[in-house]
Structure 1
Amino acid sequence: MDTATSIANNASRPVKERGKREQIIRAALQVFAEHGLHGTPVPPIADQAGVGVGTLYRYFDGKEALINAAFCDAKQRLQDHLLTDLDLLDPSRALFDTLWARLTSFARNEPETFQFLEIQDHHSYLTPESRSQEQALLIPLGMMVIIGQRNGLLSDRLKPDLAIALFWGAFVGIFKAERLNYLTLTDDDLKRARDACWLAMANDTANGVTS
């Protein structure tokens, strides 16, 4: 092997390694979403990723490390999808509707990732790094609510963290009900659910709905 070929191979190795790691994380998201965390051993994840168990352990020390990697990956992709190019320091009804629409498209386009984020069991596994990734999404949303309450757009009946929990819980609940075949969500259903969440959070003088 000549020097140029050796250099090219060495340069491509980090890309290949990163691709394999992402492949395993995506497989973990699918398997965890379908089977949960506690009842899922490592071998089915390796099978889903199309790698050997030994290869998986070259990238992750164990299931706990894989859960944290999947969690950080899912939260980062949700954050990017939800918040990119939005000015959260200027809250409005239009901004609320945009957040709802973006969250809807994320739930529709990445159902396994969204279902994984629904799981509460992963919180017992999370490292400080993973919790920091979660806060990177929650803190901007919390600031948006605080500013909205101070400028009179949002009601101060609810604490900011309670308002966010209400919004997230309602959204997750209706999509989980659809996934479990308790209901079928039409576009009109989603608009009505959006408007109901807005009415629960908005100041009485700013509670108009949009079509």
Structure 2
Amino acid sequence: MTTPTRPKPNARPRIKDKRSAILRAALAVFAEGGVNGVPMPALANKAGVGTGTIYRYFSSKDVLVNQLFREQRQFKRDLLFDGLDRTLDAEAQFRLVWQRMIRYSREHPDTYRFLEMQDHRPYLDSESRQLEQRFFAPLVSQYRDYQAQGVYRSDLRAEVLMAMVWGCFANLIKCEREGLLTLEQADLDAACTTCWSMLTG
């Protein structure tokens, strides 16, 4: 009679998709502690794999960070812009994207924080930087179109206007995350109206 094999004490449960587990863990720990502040053994422990397993899927931390960055940047683009009704006027589109940004920052806080931390960091490779450009180029083009149509103010470059709006939003979320304020829906709606007024002059 064969004796059933018992699992070893403290043995890790078997993980079917180790690559995905590593990426999920990386997102969580990088969002919390930054890329440079997280050693690979800590990441491995979070993922439930051995440190050597990470290197079977990603040859270095930089490779892992860039893969994670590209996947999460695409995820963000999809959440914010997929299915956006392009027949809406400029203000309606702006308000809709603003609400999507709020939902994104609250429902996916690790992704939001990770991407905010990684922008323009030196360890992003050329493919990640090109993806970043592809993300922002259509937005800048849209801002320029609205400027040409007289919808947006034209005394500031489109890139500057976009940076100002995103900066306002990012700082609101940062202050809430750090416990400096609690944002009610009325606050967010008023902030949206203020940013729209800033765009239109």
1:102-141 → structure 2 map (5 Å cutoff):
102-120=100-118, 123-141=121-139
Q: Report deviation, 1:122.
A: 6.1
Decide which of 170, 175, 178 is 1:177's aligned counterpart. 175
| Matching residue of 2:153 | 155
Decide which of 7, 16, 19 is 1:21's aligned counterpart. 19
- What is the TM-score with the length of structure 2 in the denominator? 0.87
Say if 1:59 and 1:88 are closer, same or farther in 2 by CA, change over 3 A: farther
Q: Describe the superposition over 1:6-32 as per-residue Cα deviations: whole angstroms up to 9, x where unpaired.
A: xxxxxxxxxx6xx43222112111101
Q: Describe the superposition over 1:69-106 as per-residue Cα deviations: whole angstroms up to 9, x where unpaired.
A: 11111111000101112256975100000110111111
| Matching residue of 1:58 | 56
Pair 1:196 & 2:194 matched = yes
Distance across 2 between alignment mates of 1:193 and 1:82 = 18
Q: For the aligned residues, what is the CA RMSD?
A: 1.7
Q: Describe the superposition over 1:145-193 as per-residue Cα deviations: whole angstroms up to 9, x where unpaired.
A: 0111111111112211111111111111110111100010110111111
Distance across 2 between alignment mates of 1:88 and 1:75 = 22
Q: Describe the superposition over 1:47-67 as per-residue Cα deviations: whole angstroms up to 9, x where unpaired.
A: 111111111111111111111
Distance across 2 between alignment mates of 1:27 and 1:122 = 22
Pair 1:45 & 2:46 matched = no
| Larger relative helix fraction | 1
| Matching residue of 1:143 | 141
What are the ranges of 5 or more consecutive residues in structure 1 without an aligned counterpart?
1-15, 205-211
| Matching residue of 1:73 | 71
Distance across 2 between alignment mates of 1:146 and 1:90 = 17
Letter paired with 1:57: Y
| Matching residue of 2:93 | 95
Tell me the percent identity. Answer: 41
- What is the TM-score with the length of structure 1 in the denominator? 0.83
The aligned length equals 186
Secondary structure of 2:131's aligned partner: helix
What are the ranges of 5 or more consecutive residues in structure 2 without an aligned counterpart?
1-15
The runs of at least 4 consecutive aligned structure 1 residues that moved more than 3 Å come to 87-91
